[in-house]
Amino acid sequence: MISVVIPTIRGREHHLRRCVDAYRTTAEEMPVELIEIHNRPTCGEAWAEGGAQATGDYIHFSADDLEPHPGWWKPAIECVKTGKLPCPRILKPDGTLESCGQWGTEMEDGVETNIARIPLLSRAQWEQGGWTIDQHYYTDNWVWHRGQELGYPTVVCRDYLFTHYYAAEGRLETIDDDWQLYVEAGGQF
């Protein structure tokens, strides 16, 4: 089973519905445990809380403005089984590329990258601890950083595929402060 942690806040209910419906319909034969974390101050705090509640063999950290594509979980789990972390291919709502290992760049499967957007970990990896940081932005960078520390490189998995709606409602304007906190915590890029 995959535990899917989805942070959300008031005013984004329509995004959450789309996200949850997509997870329910795209997991095919893999059971999912959907964990909605409501109204936490940061994504990192919500991911930590959801990870602590998760009971699945795998823990997937998502967001309410993401929509998974059919089969999204298969390449991610295969990647994790090889001792790596998956980095997805992410599309904009119009179908153009947002990122694939790097912003605005298509990369091939298996290419090592320095970001673990939309992370998925095994239960054993999660239990090693230190995967979340209590801030809103750069939480996915922190997963990459922690993976590097523990010997789990992050690689592109093109079929680990999502659409990102980049919802503006309630979006925090803390990106500069969060970068500073990330660096001060020992994060690198």
Q: What is the pLDDT of residues 27-78, one digit of tens each?
A: 777 899 999 999 998 889 999 999 999 999 999 999 999 999 999 999 999 9
DSSP assigned state of 69: P
Widest CA span in the chain: 42
Q: How far apart are CA 85 and CA 177, in angstroms?
A: 27
Q: How far apart are CA 130 and CA 36, in angstroms?
A: 21
Amino acid (one-letter) located at 71: G
The domain segmentation of the chain, as residue ranges, is 2-184
Structure tokens at 117: 């957007």
Q: How far apart are CA 110 and CA 161, in angstroms?
A: 14
Q: Answer whether 77's CB lies under 8 Å from 28's CB.
A: no
Q: What is the pLDDT of residues 142-186, one digit of tens each?
A: 899 899 999 999 999 999 999 998 665 555 554 455 445 545 666
* Cα pseudo-dihedral 100, 54, 43, 22, rounded to 10: 50
Q: How far apart are CA 130 and CA 160, in angstroms?
A: 24
Rounded to the nearest 5°, which phi and psi values hold at 25? -95, -15
pLDDT at 157: 97
Instruction: Provide the CATH number for the domain formed by 2-184 in this structure.
Output: 3.90.550.10
pLDDT at 175: 46
Q: How far apart are CA 142 and CA 136, in angstroms?
A: 11
Q: How far apart are CA 118 and CA 140, in angstroms?
A: 7
What global pTM score does this model have? 0.88
Q: Is the pLDDT of residue 105 over 80?
A: yes
